[in-house]
Amino acid sequence: MTEHRSNRPIFQSLLLAITALTTCLTTYEHLSAAAGPMTPQELQAFGKQIQQTAYSQDAAKFRALFDWKTFINRVLGDYEQNPAVKQALQPVRQQLETAYTENNQGIDSEILAEVGSGADYRFLAMRKENNEFKVIFRFLRPDWTLNYQALIIEKQASGELKIVDIDSLSTGELISQSLQRLYLPEIYKAHLDVKDKLSQEETSRIISQKKRYDFLTADTEKTDPFQNYSQLPNQYKNDKTVLLFLAQNTIETENDKKYQSVLGAYRKYHPQDPASELLSVDYFTMTKQYKLAIDSLDRLTAAIKTTDPYLYSVRAGVLIEMGDTSLAGKYAGKASELEPDLLQPYLHLINLSVMQGQFDATIKYLEILNNKFGFAYEDLDLSDLENFDKFTASPQFKQWQAVKKVAAQPKQGSVN
């Protein structure tokens, strides 16, 4: 009896342990079954959810779409393999955790602020690349500044989908990489603080990264970036961000020959990457090199791997400048057909209809512009268009103005 009683607590503990283990295994199996592989249907639904939440301007719900812990690990994880560096980086990690896991400003706040100010944030497509699931968004600001974002999505053990990083296609780098660069001075200092505990490889890497940081943050008014470029470590001479930095400098200094040279290098080392094409469409249009702008639009369309009606509209604008109004009309019409809520194609269609003397169509598009987007004829300046005087003298315009005048008059018996 004594022996039996003395063993009873052990037996009970064993039973409790087995019960707990069984519960854990059951829970794990349940979570694993709930999670499973990510399906295209789930990814598409999540892309639509991101768009709807952004437009709802619900900051808490939008913030909850992100997995901030994983995001921060993507920023610092490569540096934290060395325990000494990891310890030295704790202040940086705390800064990031405060910024992104509490209610401070972060990526989510920036996106919501842009959308709240009139930016179009539209889910276009989904895909799997390099074993990562992505949803592709068009980010179009009211001033027509265009960017695309590939939001990287992971499935949690709970089965929920979360955003873990964003690839900003106009900058050629992930948001996590941009933050690495932003925090590089602190990261560099953390390495210096434990320099006696670094391997030769770690020392070489952080010194090279600091040289790249210094290059990208140099005052181009005081130094020649092309001269500084020659001093960069070889592994960064064909880096996307470095080449885009040089391209921006050539635009600012209006050096077309150097721009073409940098662009050639970018396309050579980063074929089918959209960043240089996003920059080039604007650059070549601005410099009236319209054929090259069209070529860049072709490459951009191929790079984003999906149909974006806005690019049809951009193409229509370039074709108008080239004088090909017939083809421009087809692209503008296709853009408005595919995405009826897109403003810019209607502006092209109004301009084209006036230029082509199709005044019935002009009135139709002006009505759409007013009813759908709230812009009145008086908000536009069409006076520089060919045939504008003919339009304002046309029977269609006079009848339209007369109808508008009658509609604007107060009805008999109405109380003012």
Q: Where are the domains of the chain?
A: 40-217, 307-402
C-alpha to C-alpha distances, 403 to 366, 385, 398, nearest whole angstrom: 14, 24, 9
pLDDT value of residue 373: 93
- By the 10 Å C-beta count (0-12 exposed, 13-18 middle, 19+ buried), 111 is classed as buried
Q: Read off the DSSP letter of residue 57.
A: T
Q: What is the pLDDT along the chain (416 residues), one digit of tens a residue?
A: 333 333 333 334 433 333 434 444 344 444 444 567 899 999 999 999 999 999 999 999 999 999 999 999 999 999 999 999 999 999 999 999 888 876 667 889 999 999 999 999 999 999 999 899 999 999 999 999 999 999 999 999 999 999 999 999 999 999 999 999 999 999 999 999 999 999 999 999 999 999 999 999 999 888 999 999 999 999 999 999 999 999 999 999 999 999 999 999 999 999 999 999 999 999 999 999 999 999 999 999 999 999 999 999 999 999 999 999 999 999 999 999 999 999 999 999 999 999 999 999 999 999 999 999 999 999 999 989 999 999 999 999 999 999 888 877 776 655 55
pLDDT value of residue 14: 35
Per CATH, the homologous superfamily of domain 307-402 is Tetratricopeptide repeat domain (1.25.40.10)
Q: Read off the DSSP letter of residue 248.
A: H
Give the whole-angstrom CA distance, residue 75 versus residue 146. Answer: 26
Q: Read off the DSSP letter of residue 411.
A: P
pLDDT value of residue 25: 39
Q: What are the helix (H) ranges across 270-394?
A: 274-286, 290-304, 309-322, 325-338, 344-355, 359-373, 388-392
Give the whole-angstrom CA distance, residue 188 versus residue 168. Answer: 25
pLDDT value of residue 413: 56
Q: What SS3 class is residue 187? A: helix
Judge whether 75 and 176 are in contact, CB under 8 Å: yes
pTM of the prediction?
Answer: 0.85
pLDDT value of residue 408: 74
Q: Read off the DSSP letter of residue 166.
A: E
Q: What SS3 class is residue 132? A: strand
Judge whether 225 and 243 are in contact, CB under 8 Å: no
